[in-house]
């Protein structure tokens, strides 16, 4: 899998403490995307086994959030999601494709996803009222019994995390909020 970057412990990319993994490459190229640097080639090639070893050695996480780029453009995505769930963790997938398209193009994938945010980002429908969702056309699908539609964490405000690591400043979460904090 082509991986752009990883945040091994975040509260900003899904419910609970999560291992967030951004994939590299996206053919959708939504106007106004918060991660345009992830459109093209790049990132680091990592095996599913290597990623699962890192994920499962991270203490205290509830699950994994897969962002991008476009995660469904990674050929090993199904194997990664199945491995994450086999380890007793949840999977949250962000995709610019609609659920119906994912089901048609990637049979069985959503059997290994607990939460799906689907739909292309639409800059003209920007939405900061729903946690983890960027525009009004996007939908949150609860796909397993691990979560319920009335989970109170889904109704909380957008968040941003700012931290320093060996590479410098790392900001993740709601991009508009991050820009306001940076001013």
What are the residue boundaries of the structural domains of the chain, listed by start? 2-156
State yes or no: pLDDT of 179 exceeds 80. no
DSSP reduced 3-state for 113: coil
C-alpha span between 68 and 96 (Å, rounded): 9
Q: What is the mean pLDDT of residues 66-77?
A: 94
pLDDT of residue 177: 54
Q: What is the mean pLDDT of residues 53-76?
A: 96
In CATH terms, 2-156 corresponds, of 3.40.30.10, 3.90.600.10, 3.40.640.10, 3.20.20.70, to 3.20.20.70
pLDDT of residue 183: 53
Here the tokens at position 23 are 């994939």
Q: Which of 25, 28, 53, 16 has its CA nearest to residue 121? A: 28
Q: Which residues of 16-26 are buried (b: 16+ CB within 10 A; e: fewer)?
A: bebbbbbbbbb
Give this prediction's pTM: 0.88
Q: What is the mean pLDDT of residues 147-158?
A: 82
Q: Which of 40, 7, 12 has its CA nearest to residue 22? A: 7
């Amino acid at each position: 899998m082509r991986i752009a970057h990883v945040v091994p412990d975040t509260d900003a990319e899904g419910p609970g403490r999560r291992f967030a993994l951004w994939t590299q490459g996206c053919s959708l190229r939504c106007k106004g995307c918060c991660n345009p640097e992830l459109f093209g080639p790049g990132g680091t090639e990592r095996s599913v086994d290597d990623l699962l070893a890192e994920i499962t050695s991270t203490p205290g996480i509830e699950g994994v959030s897969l962002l991008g780029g476009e995660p469904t453009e990674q050929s090993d995505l199904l194997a990664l999601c199945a491995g994450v769930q086999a380890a007793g963790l949840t999977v949250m997938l962000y995709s610019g494709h609609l659920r119906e398209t994912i089901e048609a193009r990637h049979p069985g994938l959503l059997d290994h996803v607990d939460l799906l945010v689907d739909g292309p980002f639409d800059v003209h429908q920007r939405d900061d009222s729903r946690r983890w969702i960027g525009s009004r056309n996007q939908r949150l699908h609860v796909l397993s019994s691990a979560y319920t539609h009335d989970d109170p964490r889904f109704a909380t405000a957008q968040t941003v995390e700012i931290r320093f690591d060996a590479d410098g400043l790392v900001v993740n979460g709601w991009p508009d909020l991050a820009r306001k904090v940076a001013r």
